[in-house]
Amino acid sequence: MWVPAEWVATEVTGLPGADVEIVALGRDVGQAGDVGAVPVPPSAADVEFYVPSFFPSPASIAAVGQMPRLRVVQTLTAGVDWIRPHVPPGVSLCNARGAHDAATAEWVVAAMLGSLRGFPLLSREQAAGRWAYQGTDQLATKNVLIVGYGSIGAAVEQRLAGFEVTVTRVARRAKPGVTPLSQLASVLPQADVVVLLVPFTPETAGMVDAAFLAGMKDGALLVNAARGAVVDTAALVAEVASGRLRAALDVTDPEPLPPGHELWALPGAFITPHVAASTPVSRQRVARLVREQAQAYLGGEPLRNVISGAY
């Protein structure tokens, strides 16, 4: 069993039948810089259960092709778009659905509140030593549209209770109280806040394009905690630069966002470096999930969160 860090190894070490090795290949793509290629250890030939790092390097993804005994890939992330094409047939791919719900939902609500109440601007005024009194927007009375209503979306809605908002839910398929993605255009124009939580798939790649953004009401806030490539960056820059829309982004395209990119300087954009799920609670819960999945595998029991079909 390969795991990417000590904090994961601590949770799984001691499981009967598990030989745990900490292997990190190259620098995570979520970090700056490059440490160069790292040789794949010979123990890759014996790996049956593989846990890549949270932001896997190209080398750590490619390593699955050197694991002839591989049976399970368990990600530390809810999204699996980055590794799914590399998982060999017959290998179970499992994501971390549920482990990051609380942390990501907190970030979404914090991003809404901070952006609407003008915290980024007021923070800049504080840094400049200016008492810049001004009115702000508010979350109360807003219509919040959650696009990609799964476990994280439900956690967001739970945390919005008490904020006096109306929540509209959109998911791939219609359910009671949930609008199908095919009818998104009918609910988009009424939204004051649009939260993106969709998985990155061929269907969602670039879905937030110029037409989507044009369908949002003037002054609306786009909150992206999904994947950067769900949004057409050039189209978003144009709308935010014009002042018609605002954006709160934990993910971008490209990512990491390079120095000098237009998004950095836009007054209506609030950007964090993909940190929504980077909390102690998320780490504890995903490490516990890895242990539970390893126990299930060793005991011949069904795995959770197995990715199949379209997603």
Residues with catalytic function: 227, 255, 274
Residue whose C-alpha is closest to residue 100's, from 282, 284, 273, 292: 282
C-alpha 38/C-alpha 73 separation (Å) is 20
User: What count of other Cβ atoms lies within 10 Å of the Cβ of residue 307?
Assistant: 18
Do 196 and 142 touch, CB atoms closer than 8 A? no
Q: Going by DSSP bridges, is the β-strand pair 178-180/269-271 parallel, antiparallel, or unpaired?
A: unpaired
Please report, as a single letter, which amino acid is at residue 244: R
Please give the full DSSP string across 27-70, using - where no structure is assigned.
Answer: --TTSSS-----PPPGGGGG-SEE---SS--HHHHHGGGG-TT-
Residue whose C-alpha is closest to residue 11's, from 301, 282, 284, 279: 284
